[in-house]
A = this chain, B = another copy of it.
């Protein structure tokens, strides 16, 4: 167990591709950090640099107090869980788990205890003598976890460990991972591009975009105060609707409707609205033409157009496509972003419910 420090870490692949640049992250002992971001943003590269599977071309990585840039993966005292498990297909579950320990010359008795303990924890006891091919996806996933736990490493690294599982299994496995990590208290770095997974697992989220850190923060903080339109659109489901709005004389205007009073200079801004922050009002509000509706059982997501910009609203009502409805939101729940840079604008005061 240890701290993990990334200091201005960067990676340029030999072809010249700059996959990661200037990443600074300070991870305290026992913390669960989730790296999120769209495909190709450098999550795996970063993780693999920590693991020692890729050379670090810029910056420094410390595990505990050791500078590990030059160390072999095996010397870094980390364990990794791969997206496709990467179990050794010819070894039994037991041997898969024991292999790393054997290579470290752990005494036999000790290996047995640790494997038994991990198997108990992961409820794999009855499968110890099976080969991976005779296991279901979820069970394989747990073996991969087991292989990591028995090692009792300084840090766990996970690269999209759940993305090969079906939706139902994914939900139950992510709970198990969380519980396990809390029990063991091992520093963890977890990569995913599923934002729901990111939200539920992380102590802190690191949102990556194009090889750079876009925002670091607790999940709810990131959810409530996205630092940029990129983060805003990436975190939350359905995605936050982003609309073009303007500030005119301290008033925030959307398609000709005044939404709120804001303390910001005049000009175009990007307005972010989460579907669950909006509600229907009988009269007033901003008019929206209903386009189509997703019935999710527990609630429905109404998609529609305000002017020619699209917007989603969560609702329990009974609108049908084609209806004209009126929506409103608490001004405290509006998000404003710089129209040019996409950076969050924290306005000092907002007044009134939008569109009286």
Q: What is A's interface to B at a CB cutoff of 8 Å? A: 39, 136, 163, 166-168, 171, 175, 178-179, 193-196, 199-200, 219-220, 223, 235-239, 274-276, 292, 294-299, 314
Chain B residues with CB under 8 Å of A163's CB are 166
The distance from the CB of A177 to the nearest CB of chain B, in whole angstroms, is 12
Question: Which 6 A-B pairs give the minimum distances between C-beta atoms?
Answer: A223-B297, A276-B298, A167-B194, A200-B294, A236-B297, A199-B297
Residue pairs across A and B with Cβ atoms less than 8 A apart, 20 shown, are: A39-B136, A39-B166, A163-B166, A166-B194, A167-B194, A167-B195, A167-B196, A168-B239, A175-B292, A178-B292, A179-B292, A196-B296, A199-B295, A219-B297, A237-B298, A274-B298, A275-B298, A276-B298, A276-B299, A298-B314
Chain B residues with CB under 8 Å of A223's CB are 297
Chain B residues with CB under 8 Å of A238's CB are 171
Cα A238 to Cα B166 in complex, Å, equals 15
The distance from the CB of A21 to the nearest CB of chain B, in whole angstroms, is 23
Find the B residue at minimum CB distance from A233.
Answer: B168
Cα A194 to Cα B314 in complex, Å, equals 21
> Can you name 15 extra interface pairs (CB under 8 A) apart from A167-B237, A168-B195, A199-B297?
A39-B166, A163-B166, A166-B194, A167-B193, A167-B196, A171-B237, A171-B238, A175-B294, A199-B295, A199-B296, A219-B295, A236-B298, A237-B297, A237-B298, A298-B314
> Is the CB–CB distance between A193 and B175 below 8 Å?
no
Chain B residues with CB under 8 Å of A294's CB are 175, 200
Cα A200 to Cα B236 in complex, Å, equals 18
The distance from the CB of A200 to the nearest CB of chain B, in whole angstroms, is 5
Chain B residues with CB under 8 Å of A292's CB are 175, 178-179
Cα A236 to Cα B275 in complex, Å, equals 20
The distance from the CB of A136 to the nearest CB of chain B, in whole angstroms, is 8
Contact A235 to B179, CB < 8 A, known contacts A168-B193, A194-B167: no
Chain B residues with CB under 8 Å of A298's CB are 236-237, 274-276, 314
> Is the CB–CB distance between A295 and B220 below 8 Å?
yes
